[in-house]
Amino acid sequence: MSLNLIYDIGICIYALSLLFFISDCVSRNRAAKRIGTGLLVVAALFQGGAIGLRVAETRTIPVFTSFDFLLMCSFSVTLTSLVVIFMKRTEFAPLLMNTIGFCVMFLNRFWITTGYNTLESWQTVHGMLILHIALASISFTALTVGAVFAAMYMFLHRKLKHKKWNDIVRRLPSLEILDKYSYIALLLGTPVLILSLIVAVLSIATEGRWTLLADLKVLSTTVALGVYIYYFVRRRIQKQSGYDTAIWAIIGFVFIVVNFLLNAWSGFHSWSGV
């Protein structure tokens, strides 16, 4: 099968899986959750198949184009959501995570073409760039999980503050657990983001392209990292409430998304949507 066919089938199965997860979240439906989980596993297999085809086409780890990077990110989010599904009282977390994963796949299919960037001008640091992009993908997944649980925390906090009890509220974990999950995810994702940035800077230094340290992409990544560092400062040093820090977790994730969109204007990545 062709890459486009495998990708399109994966998107369709992903969409069906989301429908079953929505059904389970709207009204408790164990059968719908099991079917949705099974379809999600199949969607992950098709994502893995698409990655395998890109490996065969490019004869390297496919991470050097926007298409490949987003495919890798959506695959990582899918696998992570499969783990979260088996955690207690977290029905809404996989739904939110897979909504993000599906949107990434959908936009990736209809906005970005596959292509292949040989990065001939970066051959001396080829391995470092693979490590940099792989770390960026892992970081994106962890920070996505942190943002999802932070959003759930803010939702539950608002409902409890206004004393609006309903079935959705009763099915959510406590504020403490949501805050803990978000914190752990960000605690994992932020150091990986730091490592990714360090590897990128080392690759620039190795090539002697010091002017790229002022590149828009490098600067925007530094700003995004600063937001997450400020999150930990407010949480650990200033002892701010979970709601206040959850806001910064969301802001940080927005910066991560914007950071990717800046690839088209980056001299370091030179990725575009065409």
Of 59 and 188, the structure prediction assigns the larger pLDDT to: 188
Q: Give the residue from 93, 47, 100 showing the smallest Cα distance to 253.
A: 100
- How far is CA 129 from each of CA 69, 161, 171, 213, 269, rounded to the nearest angstrom? 12, 47, 43, 15, 10
Evaluate if residue 182 carries a pLDDT over 60: yes
Distance CA 104, CA 77 (A): 10
Enumerate residues 6+ apart whose C-beta is below 8 A from 180: none
Lowest mean pLDDT among 39-53, 85-99, 198-212: 198-212
SS3 172: coil
Structural contact between residues 242 and 233, judged by C-beta atoms closer than 8 angstroms: no
Q: What is the pLDDT of residue 218?
A: 75
Evaluate if residue 115 carries a pLDDT over 60: no
CB atoms within 10 A of CB 140: 27
Evaluate if residue 150 carries a pLDDT over 50: yes
Task: Give me the helix-helix angle, 92-111 and 3-26, nearest 10°.
Answer: 150
Evaluate if residue 117 carries a pLDDT over 60: no
Distance CA 27, CA 205 (A): 55
- For residue range 223-241, what is the model confidence (pLDDT) as tens digits? 889 999 999 988 877 777 7
Q: What is the pLDDT of residue 272?
A: 41
Evaluate if residue 42 carries a pLDDT over 90: yes
Distance CA 74, CA 69 (A): 9
